[in-house]
């Protein structure tokens, strides 16, 4: 029998700890739940599965005909050869279209007819599939059996069609009426000793209206246990920007991207994570802007592209450059790199006073003197060692910045999922403040959010640490008495479920079991609950890793028509640049039994709070009523209904964009963080988890990663050739990866394939969610509380046989 590739080892003697059973499924089923068999694709069956795999250098442009071919395969696989293409003309359109449920990149503001991308089409086609998971499917398969299926196979079965309840006697999900499902939720919540014994998770796909109702229900119930996916992605950005500028969001919009002289892109693979960003990068290059990519891996989006909606370019294969300079710091070396740029700028200011904006610094900032002294006192040798980049290259970066009249710095999870993510984002702000690159056209900080409405979730109240002013307004407008103590975030929720403190888990969208860190520990935590409730569109792992009682509540997708008593309803979303706009579905629902997310929230709320004066049913009848209430509670949402229906919606006002800083000093704050040690200990590497191109969050479309030249393989680790040589490894050799937690415990995955890649020595990379098992639940940033999914200390060694077996 093969060794489990994601089994964990205790530090004392290397004893293997098996995962906790659902209903004692066979060992292979449990093995599949934690990542697949050694050396085999973790997603199992699928469009590219099999025993053969390969890797080659990818030298084609990002997007272009490769994207078109990929989209065609997906449309055929999902049997959407007609509806799929028709949806392209409705997605991201102001005239009654629906917002892409994929990334949060802003919609084009110039009337682009095909404001789409490869991954957006995959995401929509995955949702619009004609395949169905109905009661007959669940009658035919036990949960123990389904535990042995791959994650690709689970989601590939199609759309959920009716509410289901777990039956322990048969180990199957069985149909349940909506009213009975809501009653089960309500009775279990009311039976708790304290409201804090329940936790309510939110995925980024939830629309603003459902988000507001969700947090209203939870707070009227009596807790702020509102973990969300931001706790695992951009929490560091929000905390850093709030401390520095008084706002938790970036300050730029697409117009600024069109006027920047230099754009710095840090820690993001845009071609896969925000593909429509390629259009903005191509436009920037054509007008002469300098584009710099800073990332341990040189990605396809840092070189050139063919934008698919540019018909002439597609016909002539004309490519556009989307990167002028690639710089590869070591993992977690970004702070040192940015500080080096700032040091070079301040050195230039000694002979050229115009190198910094002294007037801006004097009028609008605080802490400059301390920061300047810190930069001057930091030796170049320390900056080179910690960043992994030589002084000459850092000075070249600074020269690009100095020559640019207006600069944007953008970043994603490669920056935030580190121990020092908050300090790194604040260092980015420091660099921008030096030259007054804030509050003027073409300049500012720009976090690149991942999921479609993850920023809107936080704006509309999903926050385990709500402000007193928000709670005051909520109490005044909605007539409730919200709790004031902070609640649990994602890591806190997992720990509380594991210890028995939290007994009920409700998940609005997403796939929590796979998205959270420390997979084995998270599985045990979910199974320790009395009740788990998952609101979903498709079958996924979180439905199989469940509590003693479990509900699957299927909801409408964003592409589908949402018909309520007042007619077809639209929902609003907020993109990563604070634009709020309307989204209206176009397709008939996958099943007549589906309910909208607001209707599901309201149903659970009514059953939980029978004496509530909140007009839950009236809200669901007409979403305008929800928005009218939101307009009274949320800053910047005044006249919400009218403004949301304007072409392109409206932008939420951000005082920092106007150089009004809601900080303690009333100024933008320089920070003076110490330089962290980013060099791995001897014999160890720093591992970052990444997504493949054929993947969206935990949804895996195939085992391929086109832009990195990988075919039919996910259980792999990318390594520098020097690190491979030191361990006497050749390409595709089997290796074991062991993470070393802060508390000394170890977690090991076995039988992965080592692949030589262009990545700095001392750094390595592999795919999530498979490698989430290596991220200890206790290893989270002391600054942001984010799991360190891109900052794991690991040992990599040739695979060793289990019990003498190969």
Among the residue ranges 36-50, 51-65, 229-243, 659-673, the one predicted with the least confidence is 36-50
Q: How far apart are CA 539 and CA 49, in angstroms?
A: 20
- Structure confidence at residue 6 (pLDDT): 39
> Helix, strand, or coil here: 192?
coil
From residue 263, how far is each of 156, 252, 323, 387, 442 by CA, in Å? 39, 12, 10, 20, 9
Q: How far apart are CA 578 and CA 67, in angstroms?
A: 28
For the chain, the distance separating the N- and C-terminal CA atoms, rounded to the nearest angstrom, is: 9
Where does the pLDDT of residue 78 fall: very low under 50, low under 70, confident under 90, or very high at 90 and above?
low
Which residues lie across from 506 on neighbouring strands? 200, 533
Average pLDDT of the chain to the nearest whole number: 88
- Structure confidence at residue 71 (pLDDT): 59
Angle at 143 between CA 139 and CA 146, to 5 degrees: 95
- Segment 426-445 shows an average pLDDT of 98
Q: What is the largest CA-CA distance in the chain?
A: 79
pLDDT digits (tens, 9 = 90+) for 300-342: 777 767 665 554 444 445 577 788 999 999 999 999 999 999 9
Angle at 464 between CA 608 and CA 494, to 5 degrees: 80
Question: pTM for this one?
Answer: 0.91
Tally Cβ neighbours within 10 Å of residue 647: 9
Q: How far apart are CA 91 and CA 101, in angstroms?
A: 9
Q: How far apart are CA 180 and CA 187, in angstroms?
A: 10
pLDDT digits (tens, 9 = 90+) for 357-415: 999 999 999 999 999 999 999 999 999 999 999 999 999 999 999 999 999 999 999 99
- Structure confidence at residue 83 (pLDDT): 56
CA-based Rg of the chain, rounded to a whole angstrom?
A: 25
Residues 739 and 764 sit within 8 Å (Cβ to Cβ): no
Which residues lie across from 532 on neighbouring strands? 505, 550
Among 757, 737, 756, CA closest to 797: 737
User: What's 805's DSSP letter?
Assistant: B
Q: Sort strands 746-756 and 734-740 into parallel, antiparallel or unpaired.
A: antiparallel
Helices (H), 13-61: 27-33
Helices (H), 378-467: 380-387, 391-403, 413-416, 421-434, 454-459
- At 131, list the tokens: 């395949």
């Amino acid at each position: 029998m093969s060794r489990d590739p994601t089994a964990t080892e205790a530090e004392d003697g290397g004893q293997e700890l098996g995962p906790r059973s659902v209903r004692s499924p066979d060992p292979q089923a449990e093995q599949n739940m934690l990542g697949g068999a050694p050396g085999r694709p973790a997603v199992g069956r699928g469009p590219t599965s099999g025993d053969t795999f390969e890797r080659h250098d990818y030298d084609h442009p990002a997007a272009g005909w490769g994207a078109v071919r990929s989209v065609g395969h997906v449309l055929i696989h999902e049997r959407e050869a007609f509806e799929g293409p028709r949806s392209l003309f409705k997605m991201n359109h102001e005239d009654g279209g629906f917002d892409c449920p994929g990334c949060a990149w802003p919609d084009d503001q110039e009337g682009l007819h095909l404001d789409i991308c490869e991954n957006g089409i995959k995401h929509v086609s995955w949702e619009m599939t004609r395949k169905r998971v109905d009661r007959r499917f669940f009658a035919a398969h036990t949960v123990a059996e389904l535990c042995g299926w791959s994650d690709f196979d689970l989601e590939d079965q199609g759309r959920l069609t009716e509410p289901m309840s777990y039956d322990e006697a048969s180990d199957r999900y069985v149909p349940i009426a909506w009213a009975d499902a809501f009653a089960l939720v309500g009775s279990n919540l009311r039976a708790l000793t304290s409201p804090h014994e329940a936790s309510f998770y939110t995925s980024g796909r939830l629309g603003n209206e459902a988000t507001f109702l969700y947090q209203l229900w939870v707070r009227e119930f009596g807790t702020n246990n509102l973990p969300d996916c931001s706790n695992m992605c951009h929490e560091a950005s929000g905390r850093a920007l709030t401390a520095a500028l008084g706002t938790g969001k970036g300050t730029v919009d697409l117009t600024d991207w069109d006027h920047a002289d230099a754009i710095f892109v840090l820690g993001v693979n845009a071609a896969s994570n925000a593909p429509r960003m390629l259009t903005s990068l191509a436009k920037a290059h054509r007008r002469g802007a300098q584009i710099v990519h800073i990332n341990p891996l040189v990605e396809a989006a840092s070189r050139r592209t063919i934008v698919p909606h540019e018909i002439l370019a597609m016909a002539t294969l004309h490519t556009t450059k989307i990167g002028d300079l690639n710089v590869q710091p070591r993992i977690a070396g970004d702070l040192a790199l940015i500080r080096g740029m700032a040091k070079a700028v301040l050195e230039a200011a000694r002979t050229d006073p115009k190198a910094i904006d002294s007037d801006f610094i004097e009028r609008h900032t605080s802490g400059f003197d301390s920061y300047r002294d810190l930069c001057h006192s930091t030796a170049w040798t320390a900056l080179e060692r910690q960043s992994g980049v030589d002084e000459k290259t850092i000075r070249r970066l600074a020269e690009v910045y100095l020559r640019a009249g207006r600069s944007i710095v953008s970043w994603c999870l490669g920056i935030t999922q580190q121990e020092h993510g908050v300090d790194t984002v604040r260092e980015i702000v420091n660099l921008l403040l030096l030259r007054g690159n804030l509050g003027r056209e073409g300049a500012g900080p720009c976090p690149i959010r991942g999921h479609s409405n993850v920023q809107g979730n936080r704006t509309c109240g999903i926050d385990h640490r709500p402000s007193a002013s928000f709670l005051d307004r909520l109490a005044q407008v909605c007539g409730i008495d919200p709790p004031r103590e902070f609640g649990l975030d994602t890591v806190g929720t997992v720990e509380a479920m594991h210890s028995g403190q939290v007994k009920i888990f409700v998940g609005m969208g997403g796939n929590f079991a796979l998205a959270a860190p420390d997979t084995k520990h998270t599985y045990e935590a979910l199974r320790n609950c009395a009740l788990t409730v998952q609101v979903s569109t498709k079958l996924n792992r979180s439905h199989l890793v469940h509590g003693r009682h479990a509900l699957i509540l299927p909801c409408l997708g964003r592409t589908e028509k949402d018909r309520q008593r007042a007619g077809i309803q639209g929902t609003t979303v907020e993109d990563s640049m604070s634009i709020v706009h309307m989204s209206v579905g176009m397709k008939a629902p996958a099943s007549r039994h589906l309910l909208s997310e607001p209707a599901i929230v309201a149903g659970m709320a009514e059953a939980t709070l029978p004496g509530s004066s909140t007009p839950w049913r009236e809200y669901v009848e007409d979403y305008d009523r929800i928005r009218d209430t939101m307009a009274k509670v949320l800053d910047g949402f005044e006249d919400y209904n009218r403004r949301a229906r304007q072409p392109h919606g409206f932008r939420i006002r951000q005082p920092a964009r106007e150089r009004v800083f809601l900080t303690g000093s009333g100024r933008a704050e320089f920070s003076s963080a110490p330089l962290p040690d980013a060099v791995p200990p001897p014999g160890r590497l720093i591992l970052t988890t990444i997504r493949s191109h054929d993947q969206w969050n935990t949804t895996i479309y195939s085992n391929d990663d086109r832009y990195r030249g990988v075919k039919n393989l996910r259980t792999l680790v990318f390594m520098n050739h020097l690190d491979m040589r030191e361990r006497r490894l050749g390409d595709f050799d089997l290796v074991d990866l062991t993470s070393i937690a802060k508390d000394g415990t170890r977690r090991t995955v076995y039988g992965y394939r080592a692949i030589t890649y262009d990545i700095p020595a001392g750094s390595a990379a592999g795919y999530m969610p498979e490698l989430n098992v290596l991220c200890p639940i206790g290893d989270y940033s002391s600054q942001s509380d984010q799991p360190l999914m891109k900052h794991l200390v690991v040992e990599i060694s040739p695979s060793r046989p289990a019990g003498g077996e190969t």
